[in-house]
Every structure is written in structure tokens, then in C-alpha cells.
Amino acid sequence: MKFEPNFEHQLKSFIENALLEDAPQGDRTSLACIPTDARCKAKLLVKDAGILAGVDVAERIFQKVDPSASFTKLIEDGTHVSFGDVAFTLECNTQALLKAERVALNIMQRMSGIATLAHEFQFEVEDLPVKILDTRKTTPLLRFLEKYAVRIGGCHNYRENLSDWFMVKDNHIKACSGVRKAIEKVLEYQKVEGLNLGITVEVKNLVELYEVLEIGNINRIMFDNFELPLLEEAVAIVGKRFETEASGGINIHSVRRVAQTGVDYISVGALTHSATSLDLSLKIQ
């Protein structure tokens, strides 16, 4: 599978660094007891139910350690899998396979766990006109893969980093001595820098909401930790003048009720910070 250039660059760096972390001087055990020219066949065995993610990443990992490896994908990313399913088979140099095994398993298990949780959230609201968004609550340096897993699971990515979207939150507002001044500073900066980025402003109550509505010139209003009745009222007040977003402690049990208030977006940090890894195993045949 071909990825977009920036993703390819990040993936290449990730694989190199992950292999270096796990085997800085090689896999000593394999070097000691397995002939250098030995080859083997293996399969990726699913040991849990969920959404599979990271197959194409695993293929890149094994091709890195053995360019002559033969990788046969049997199940595509985004597919629901069950105990006993075989995601792929592999024919590879044995030393290389064992060197890459844990790196491939770790990232696939992590990505599959995220994709599974994202799928569960999306299932809860699939009949409603709302998008579930991830956040920046990701593992440092693994964000690109964790956000990829969110997409595989059926949810959507918010900003990739602090540089691609303005988000005026409580600390910005406090540091600027008020939401009006914060928004004015953002608009001035955007004009000076010649940018055309989205602007989200976080509000904590209706007083802040009315102030933001008076200022305008933004794209989205984020309601942080609003109780459901207040959230519904806030969405009605905004109407369709700006996009609306709910955030703060939203879980799988509350997401549908939040969506029914009419918000356009729901941001859920749990997609990446609370996902449980899917159990997978690589078995030599």
C-alpha cells in the first residue's frame, strides 16, 4: 500500500528507531542459535475480537529487516476479526523475522485496539449527523499511526498538531485576560502570517458563549464539559451560525445522548488514550 509522502517519511523513521530500540546490537538469542541463512514461514494469529489495523505497517517492518520476505495479506485493515483468524502469512529469513516480531506485534496490537474503540464509538452514532473526532492525547512520536488507526475504525482526525488549526482554550483565554482579546490576537496573527486556518474557541458556560457569538469571525465553538440540558440549549443558541463541538469526559455510554443534542462534532480523547490493545500473536509454522 502506498501512503502519502509525509506518512511514508514518518513510517520509515519509526521503523528504523523501533528496531534500533529493541535490538541495538541485534537479537542476541537468534544470532546465537539460528543459522544466518535459515528461513521460515509464520502467520499472524488473532486471539481477540475487534477491528484489525496495522497490517500494511507490519509488512513494511518485515520488508525492512528482510527485503526478500514474502508477505501475503489475508485480512484488510478495518475488517472485524475474531479469535482464530489469520491476518497474514509470511516467509522470511528467520533471524530477521524474530528481530522484527515484537515491533510488528506491538504496533499492530496498539493500532487494532484504537481502531476497535473508534468503531464502537462510530457504531453508537452511525444514524446521526455527527462526526466523532480524536484529539492530541496520543503517544509521543506515534501520533501519525494512532490517528491512522482512528480513521481505520471509522472516526475522524482533528488537528494533527498545534500548527494546523487555531484552538483558543481556557489557558489561552486566561493568559490573554479574556476571550475577546484572545480571538482578536488570533485574527491579527492569521492576517499578518497570511494564513487561512480554522479557528475553534472553547467556552465553559453561556456567558462565554454569548461573548464569542458577539465577536464572531471564527469557525467552531467547543462546549467543554456542558451538562446535556445546557449543551442542548447552547447548540440551539448557536443555530447554524458556526460549527459546534462537544468535548470533555464523553464515553461510550454517553456519546449517543451527546450526539442527540445536535452538535456537529464530538471530540473524544479516549479514542487514543484509553484504547486496550488487541491480542495478536506471530507463530512460526
Instruction: Identify the CATH number of the domain in which residue 40 sits.
Output: 3.90.1170.20
Matching residue, cell 485574527: 187
Domain for residue 132, yes or no?
A: no
169 is catalytic: yes
28 is catalytic: no
Identify whether residues 242 and 280 lie together within a single domain.
no
Sign of CA dihedral 77, 1, 275, 243: negative
Domain for residue 146, yes or no?
A: no
202 is catalytic: yes
Identify whether residues 162 and 70 lie together within a single domain.
no
Identify whether residues 105 and 161 lie together within a single domain.
no
Q: How many domains does the chain have?
A: 2
List 39, 41, 137, 256, catalytic entry: 137
Identify whether residues 203 and 257 lie together within a single domain.
yes
Starting from the edge strand earliest in sequence, which strands make up the sheet with 86-93, in order? 70-73, 86-93, 39-46, 280-284
Q: Residue 22 CA to chain centroid, in angstroms?
A: 24
Identify whether residues 193 and 261 lie together within a single domain.
yes
Domain for residue 138, yes or no?
A: no
| CATH number of the domain to which 230 belongs | 3.20.20.70
Comparing C-alpha atoms, which of 88, 90, 91 is closest to residue 77? 88
Identify whether residues 106 and 209 lie together within a single domain.
no
List 47, 169, 180, 256, catalytic entry: 169
- In degrees, rounded to 5, the angle at the alpha carbon of residue 148 between the alpha carbons of residues 144 and 153 is 150
* pLDDT tens track, the chain, 285 positions: 889 999 999 999 999 999 999 999 999 999 999 999 999 999 999 999 999 999 999 999 999 999 999 999 999 999 999 999 999 999 999 999 999 999 999 999 999 999 999 999 999 999 999 999 999 999 999 999 999 999 999 999 999 999 999 999 999 999 999 999 999 999 999 999 999 999 999 999 999 999 999 999 999 999 999 999 999 999 999 999 999 999 999 999 999 999 999 999 999 999 999 999 999 999 999
137 is catalytic: yes
List 102, 131, 204, 256, catalytic entry: 102
Predicted TM-score (pTM) of the model is 0.96
Q: Residue 2 has what pLDDT?
A: 84
Q: Residue 126 has what pLDDT?
A: 98
Could you list the residue range(s) of the whole structural domain that residue 67 is in?
Answer: 5-115+276-284
List 48, 160, 224, 243, catalytic entry: 224
191 is catalytic: no
Identify whether residues 12 and 93 lie together within a single domain.
yes
Q: What are phi and psi of 208, to 5 degrees?
A: -65, -35
